[in-house]
Structure 1
C-alpha cells in the first residue's frame, strides 16, 4: 500500500495485541529488581506485586544477576563488600569480596564468562573478580575521577561506564580493558545510571543534574534526548530498559517511573510516590536481558593461566578473548602465562565463608599457587593452611 507502513518485531518478540505498534517478549514474565539501601525488592511488572528478596542490608547500592542460575549480586557501601545469594533465598547471602575498601556505586555481571565488574569511587578504579572473589584485577585506574554506573555486553565484548567527576563523561572499553574511548562528553553533568539495549545496540543514561534521559549508539553516534522533565526526572539515579520501555528510579520522588523508550511519552509511576525510601539501582529481571552467547574461554580457559576475558568485537578479524593476570602478576610475552610482577607487592584479599570463617587469599605469583588461610570464627578452632594449584 502506497504510504502505508507495517510494524515488525525482532526475533523473540511479537506485536502487542493491545497495541500493534509495541513489541512484547514471547516468553517469560518480567520483574524489576531494586536495591533500596536497607533491602532488595522484586516488583512483578504484570501485576505490580512487590516482594522483599533480601532484608537487613546496611546500604545496598548496586546490583545485578545471572538469570540462568538465579543468582543475584550486590554491593554494600557501608560494609564495603560485594555479596551474592540465590534470588529465592536472598537472606542466605555469601560474601564475594570484602577488601580494605570497596566503595562500589556500580556493578555489572558478565553472565557468559562469569565475572563481576565494578566501579570503585573511593579508589577511582574499574575492577573485576570471579564469582568466588578469589581472582581479581584492576582493569582501569588512570584518568578516572568518580566512576559510577557500569554496563556490559559480553557478546560484543564491550563495557561502558559513567564518570560524574570534574570532567563528566561516558566511556567504553573492551571487557579486557583495551580500546578505551570516550563516547559522551558534552551536554552531560551527572550521568548517574546507564543501561544497554542489546537488541538495538544503544546505550541509555539518566542525568541527575540536567533532568534528562538520553540515548546513543554504542559508539556514541546518533545521540538523542528521550525525555526532559523537572517533574519526573528531579533526581534520577538508575535506569534499565525492556521491550519498548525504560524504567528509572528517582531520589526526589522516591519511586520508579516508566516511559516509552523511543518517544519519552506515557510516563507513569510504577510505585506510589514517596513509597520507596532510597531507591538505588534497578534492573529488569528477564532472560532476554541476558541473551545466550558463546563462551570462547570455556575450552581449557582459553589457554590462559589465570584470567580469560572477552575482547571487544571491532571487526571479523578481532580476537574473541584475551588473557589477563590478577593484581600482582604480569603477562608473559606469549600472551597466556602470568608470572610475578616484581614491580608490585604480592596482594591479598579477605573474604568470609558461609560458616562465618575468614578466608585470606594471597596470590603467590612465581609458583602459580594461591595460598588459602582459613581462620575459624570460633575461639580455639584450628588453623588450616593449604595451597591450590592454578593451571
Structure 2
C-alpha cells in the first residue's frame, strides 16, 4: 500500500508546475525535478540524503532508486540498454519518446535511422538494411528517368528543379555541391607527421605498414619492404628507428613523444597545471603569479581580474541575454533578431555582435542599453557560424558555413574581404591581435584547428588528430592556450598556440551532449549546451568544480565573456608575427589585387590617418595617398639618421634605454618591449626580456 502511495505521489510531482516567483505557469525542464512548493531542482539531487525541496518531496520520491535502469512514465522499470532502441518496452511507450531519447543529431550528409543510428545518405534505398531496423529502406521509390531521388525522404524530384538555387528536397540534397557539379573543397594538405594515402586521405605515419589497413584504398600497407626512415624520416620530428616490421620514432633527452611521431619540449608548469597564469618552476617547486590587471586570490591562488564583475552574454531563440558570473544579475538585452547564433563582444565600445544564419547577417547591439534596436552590420552572407572581434585594429572576423570561408571587415561592415576559402565545414574563430594570430576550427571530413597571421597568410595546422567535431574555440591569452569544445567526443581540450602541450580538461558529464558556445576567463571555462538547455562552467585545468550557471535556456547558442581584462593593450605585432609596431598599426584593404595588409603608422603620419580614420568603424584611406605617406616616412628616416649622427658626435657617455610613448616597464602588459624602433621592426632583433610586475 505504501508503494502505491509513492507511485501516486510520483505522478503528482511530475505533473506539478513550478512557480518561480511569477504568476505564469512554468514547467521544469526534463533534467529537473519539480518540488511540491514549485521550486525546480536538478534531478541529480534526488535521493542524496539532503532535503533540497523545502517540503522534502525530493527525498519522498526515493522509491525511484529501486529501479537501476529507466523508469517509465507509468512506473514500470526497464534496462538502460532497452532505452531508445527502436522498440517499445514501456507499456506506455515512454522509453521511445523524444523527451527520453532527445533528438538525433546526424550530419547533413547522413540519414537518421529510427534506431538512432546515423548512416551515410548513400546507404538510403540501396537495398541493404544499414540501420538495423530497416528504416533506411522504408518508403523508397524507384525514380524514373528525368527525375532526381531525394535520399533522406525517398521522394522523386523533377530534374528541372535540380540545382535551381532553392532546396526542393526536404534535406536539401538537390542543392549539394557534389550534385550540382561545384568543385569540392580542396583536400587538406597532410602534415610532416602524416602519410598521404593514394586517395588523398591523411593518416598518422605510425600507422603505415602496421598490418592494419587504415587508408580506404589500402595504400598504407603497400611497398612495406623498405626502410621507412629513408622517406621523410618516417614522419618523425627527430629520431626515426627502422625495425623489421615498420618503424618507431624516438626523442632526445628533455623532450617526449606525442602523437607517435612528434617530440615536444617538456613544460613542467603545463604538466603540473597548478598556476592560473604565470608559472616559474625551480628545483621541483612552482611559483605562481598573475599578469597586470589581475590579483592572486590568497585562498585559492587563482588570478582574479580587477575592476568590474565579468558578464556572460549568450544567445538563444529568445534573443540575446546576459548574466554575471555570480549568477545574481540576469537581464534580457534584445529579442529583436533572435536565434542561437555566434557572439562576439567589443568591451571597450560596449558592443555585442550577433550572427544570424537564417538571415545571413551580422548585427550589432549595445551591451548596456536594452531599448536600442540591433543595427545591421553585414548582410548578404551565407551562414555565419563563428565571430571574433579584433579590438586593436577595429576588425570583425567571421566564419561562413555556406561559403566555407573565413572573412574579415571593418567593425562597421565595410571593406569586406575573404581571407581563407575552400574549407570543409568551418565553425569557431578567434583572434590574438597582440601576437598577430588568427585561429579557426574546421569540423568537416578532416576535422582540424588551424592558425594563420591576421592577414590570412602563413597558414599552419595546430590540431589534426583525435578531433571529431570542434564546434567552438576560445583563447586563454594570459597562458597562451587555445581551448576547443568537441561535440562529437563530448570533451573540452586545450593546446598551446604552437600546437604543443595538448590536454583534455573536461570530459562528458551529462552537460556536454550538444555544446555550441565556449569561453575562458580567469580560472574557469564556460560553455552552452543545447540538449540540457544550460550554461555551465568548470575549472579550466581539470574540469572540477562543475557548476550550472543557468538552466532553462531555449535553444542555447553562442556565448562570450565581457571584461576589460580580455582586451589588453600594449605593444603589438603589426598584423603578422615577427613584426612589432611601436606606434599605431592600421589595417589597409587593397582592391586590386584583393588583399589585407597592416601598416605601422609613425607619429608624423598620425594626423593624416586620424583625419581619414577617426575610429575603427570608419573607412580607411585608400592607396592613392600611399605615395605621400611613403615620402613622409623616407624624410622621417633621414631626419632621424641626422639626429642620431649628431647625438653620437656629441659623445654622450651613457646609453639610456628609451621606450616610445609614456609606457613604463611596470605598466607594460607585454613582456617584450621594443628598443628604439622607428618603423615596423624585426621582433628578434629589437626586443628585450622584462620581468612582469603584477602588483
Shared fold (TM-score, shorter chain, > 0.5): yes
Superposed, which structure 2 residues align to 1:113-262 within 5 Å? 113-142=393-422, 144-262=423-541
By how many angstroms is 1:89 displaced?
Answer: 2.4
Contact kept? 1:324, 1:331, Cα under 8 Å = no
Query: What secondary structure does 2:318 align onto?
Result: strand
Please state how far the C-alpha of 1:124 moved relative to its aligned partner: 0.7
Corresponding residue number in structure 1 for 2:366: 86
- Which residue number in structure 2 is paired with residue 49 of structure 1? 329
Task: Note if contact 1:112-1:293 (Cα within 8 Å) is conserved in structure 2.
Answer: no
| Structure 1 residues 276 and 60: CA distance shift in structure 2, 3 A | closer
1:60 and 1:74 in contact (8 A); partners too: no
- The offset of 1:59, in angstroms, is 2.2
Kindly state the Cα deviation for residue 189 of structure 1 after the two structures are TM-superposed.
0.5
Q: Mark the CA change 1:264 to 1:295 in structure 2 (over 3 Å): closer, same or farther.
A: closer
Q: How does 1:263-274 map to 2 (within 5 A)?
A: 263-272=542-551
CA distance in 2, matches of 1:73, 1:125: 19
Alpha-carbon distance in structure 1 between the residues aligned to 2:468 and 2:284:
42
- Three-state SS of the structure 2 residue aligned to 1:105 is strand
| Cα separation, 1, equivalents of 2:379 and 2:525 | 33
TM-score (norm 1): 0.75
Pairs aligned (count): 320
Conservation of the 8 A alpha-carbon contact between 1:77 and 1:104: yes
Structure having the higher helix fraction is 2
Whether 1:325 and 2:592 are equivalent positions in the alignment is no
Residues 212/32 of structure 1: CA separation in 2 closer, same or farther (3 Å cut)? same
The alpha carbon displacement at 1:26 in A equals: 2.1
Q: What's the offset of the Cα at 1:21?
A: 2.6
Deviations 1:105-160 (A, max 9, x none): 10111111111100011011111111221211111113x01111100101111011
* Residue 247 of structure 1, CA deviation: 0.6
* Per-residue deviation, residues 74-116 of structure 1 (Å, max 9, x unmatched): 11112111111221225322111112x3310101111111111
Aligned match of 1:33: 313
How far apart, CA to CA, are the structure 2 residues paired with 1:47 and 1:271? 7
| CA separation of 1:110 and 1:5: change in aligned 2, threshold 3 A | closer
CA displacement, residues 304-350 of structure 1 (integer Å, 9 cap, x when unaligned): xxxxxx42224779xx9696535x53169x998xxxxxxxxxxxxxx
CA contact (8 A) 1:171 1:180 kept: yes
Q: What's the CA shift string for 1:20-50, capped at 9, x where partnerless?
A: 3322112221010101133001111134321
Q: What's 1:300 paired with?
A: none
**1:388 counterpart residue number:** none
**8 Å Cα contact 2:350/2:367 also seen in 1:** yes
CA contact (8 A) 2:433 2:572 kept: no
Q: Map Cα deviations across residues 164-184 of structure 1 (whole Å, 9 max, x no partner).
A: 111111011111011111100
Superimposed CA distance per residue, residues 224-270 of structure 1 (whole angstroms, 9 cap, x where no aligned partner): 11121241311222211111111111111110111110121111110
CA distance in 2, matches of 1:208, 1:287: 30
- 1:283 maps to 560
SS in 1 for 2:291: coil
Q: What does residue range 91-106 of structure 1 map to in structure 2 within 5 Å?
A: 91-99=372-380, 101-106=381-386
> When you count strand as a share of all residues, which structure comes out higher?
1
CA spacing shift, 1:283–1:323, aligned 2, 3 Å:
closer
Structure ID, larger Rg: 2
Stretches of structure 1 that go unaligned for 5 or more consecutive residues are 297-309, 337-364, 369-391
- CA deviation vs aligned residue, 1:40-78 (integer Å, no higher than 9, x gap): 011111343211111132424011121111111111112
Secondary structure of 1:109's aligned partner: strand
1:105, 1:120 within 8 Å by CA — same for their partners in 2? yes
Long gaps (5+) in structure 2? 1-282, 600-621, 626-695
In the alignment, is residue 292 of structure 1 matched against residue 569 of structure 2?
Answer: yes
Give the root-mean-square deviation of aligned CA atoms: 2.9
Quickly say closer, same or farther: Cα 1:269–1:105, change in 2 above 3 A. Answer: same
Q: Distance in 2 between matches of 1:24 and 1:367?
A: 48
Flag the 1:315–1:84 CA change in 2: closer, same or farther, 3 A: closer
Q: Does 1:77 align with 2:357?
A: yes
Aligned to 1:10: 291
SS at match of 1:193: strand
